[in-house]
Amino acid sequence: MILLINICKIPFHYFEFVKPIEEILKKLNIKFITIQYDKLTSEIFLKADKVIISGTSLKDNSFLDDVDRFNWIKEFDKPVLGICGGMHILGLIYNGKLMEVQEIGLVTIYFDEEFFGLNGKLEVYELHNLFVESSEFDVIAKSKKCPQVIKHKHRLIYGVLFHPEVRNKKLIEHFAKC
């Protein structure tokens, strides 16, 4: 079972940032459960085989005040994928720092190696005012402005700054099936 963590504080953002991920998992017939990040209990995440953390809108960033709620990930030994705001969280729990860079819309990024079915030069959909840097992660892909894909040096923890549910659904499909 995949645990999909919804980081939208304003529930109406679910339709834009969480539902498209659910639709990809539904098409693959993969079991998942969606939980709001502040309602998550250890009972739920202990049952998960994998975790996906969603993004949310540019303004809806109160999850950043609650990053401590995600410390359980450090003890979780299964794959975790953070998307945009989800990536910020993963970087921050591993002593990362947020920096300001805005990318909105279609942007070309460059991969150094294959990452869940994506490689080379690729057009992706971006929606962020921040990015995260942490020395505990390797950078797998970059845009001209900042790191786009990171992978933890020793753990199965991955972050993508762009929104794969928009133009690069293959990434989520590969992650869900890996």
- Name the minimum Å distance from CB 55 to another protein: 12
The verdict on 98 binding another protein (CB under 8 A) reads no
d(CA 2, CA 25) in angstroms, rounded, equals 9
**Residue 84 designated active-site:** yes
Should residue 117 be labelled a site residue for another protein when binding is judged by CB under 8 A?
A: no
The reply on whether position 101 binds another protein by CB under 8 A is no
Interface with another protein (CB under 8 A), residue from 69, 78, 145, 167 = 167
* Whether 114 is catalytic: no
To the query of whether residue 8 is one of the catalytic residues in this protein, the response is no
* Residue 142 binds another protein (CB under 8 A): no
Binding site for another protein (CB under 8 A): 10-13, 15-16, 19-20, 23, 57-60, 102, 104-106, 125, 127, 129, 165-167
Residues marked active site are found at 84, 163, 165
